[in-house]
Amino acid sequence: METLTILWTGRLWLRRFTATARDLDALASLHGDPEVMRRIDDGRPQPRETVAARTLPGILRQYDELPPGTGCFAVESRTDGRFLGWLSLRPPSSVGLAAAPAVGRGAVLELGYRLLPGAWGHGYATEGARALVRHAFTVLGAEQVVATTMTVNSASRRVLEKAGLTLVRTFFEEWPEYIEGAERGDVEYAVSRAEWAQGPAAPSA
């Protein structure tokens, strides 16, 4: 049987999502939470129907379409199996990021994450992000890991910094809809394999 587990850390499992009611419920609760979605896309929660028709099928399709070992992965507590959210490692696709190969020479992968509010503040995002950055460099052969977030998303920026990424630039895009804080723009972060290997995040996550 194909294994669903991508990796694990001290407290977390990262595994592929599945086409089950359980995973649909989990993803719909995450993407349907106004606090989670406040600083993402149009700033609004996604209806369950959208998650069922587009979001979950899209995540599942990417396991086939993207390079092996990349994608969007469910994060669960190793203690009790509770769904905490997701972390992702994919070819760069966010607005503001340059297109780049995801495998081979010059390979670049984009890091992302969303956790349920009940899981915030326990260091889970940092723990998972560090493990995925390590995975990108040591297993997937990436040469750089990049990420973007809103300038005002302090929690997300802190996660990136703690995972070893540093600020590259602040940039301003025209978005179809204004969301609070958009006037301060977005930030791009990155870390190269050489920088990561020398940094404090490199030791086993």
Ligand X SMILES: CC(C)(COP(=O)(O)OP(=O)(O)OC[C@H]1O[C@@H](n2cnc3c(N)ncnc32)[C@H](O)[C@@H]1OP(=O)(O)O)[C@@H](O)C(=O)NCCC(=O)NCCS
- Using CB under 6 A, which of 78, 121, 139, 198 touches ligand X? 121
In whole angstroms, how close is the CB of 143 to ligand X at the nearest point?
22
3-class secondary structure, 147:
strand
Nearer to ligand X by Cβ, of 86 and 196: the residue is 86
Q: Mind giving me the DSSP string for 111-123? A: EEEEE-GGGTTSS
Nearer to ligand X by Cβ, of 15 and 162: the residue is 162
Per CB under 6 A, the segment of 49-57, 69-77, 110-118, 174-182 that binds ligand X is 110-118
* Interaction of residue 166 with ligand X, rule CB under 6 A: no
- Using CB under 6 A, which of 126, 144, 151, 192 touches ligand X? 126
Tell me the CA distances in angstroms from 196 to 71, 135, 184, one per residue in order.
21, 12, 28
Nearest to 88 by CA among 138, 46, 146, 33: 146
In whole angstroms, how close is the CB of 68 to ligand X at the nearest point?
25
Structure token pair of residue 26: 């989990």
- Using CB under 6 A, which of 158, 169, 172, 175 touches ligand X? 158
Tell me the CA distances in angstroms from 184 to 96, 112, 152, 173, one per residue in order.
15, 20, 7, 10
* CA dihedral sign of residues 131, 134, 140, 144: positive
- Using CB under 6 A, which of 55, 70, 144, 153 touches ligand X? 153
Nearer to ligand X by Cβ, of 140 and 146: the residue is 146
Compute the distance between CA of residue 147 and CA of residue 19 in angstroms, rounded to an integer. Answer: 27
In whole angstroms, how close is the CB of 160 to ligand X at the nearest point?
9
Distance of CA 145 to the CA centre of its chain: 11
Compute the distance between CA of residue 134 and CA of residue 200 in angstroms, rounded to an integer. Answer: 12
Per CB under 6 A, the segment of 13-21, 47-55, 119-127, 189-197 that binds ligand X is 119-127
Per-residue binding letters, 27-66, with ligand X (x by CB under 6 A): ---------x--xx--------------------------
Binding residues vs ligand X (CB under 6 A) = 36, 39-40, 113-115, 120-126, 149, 153-156, 158-159, 162
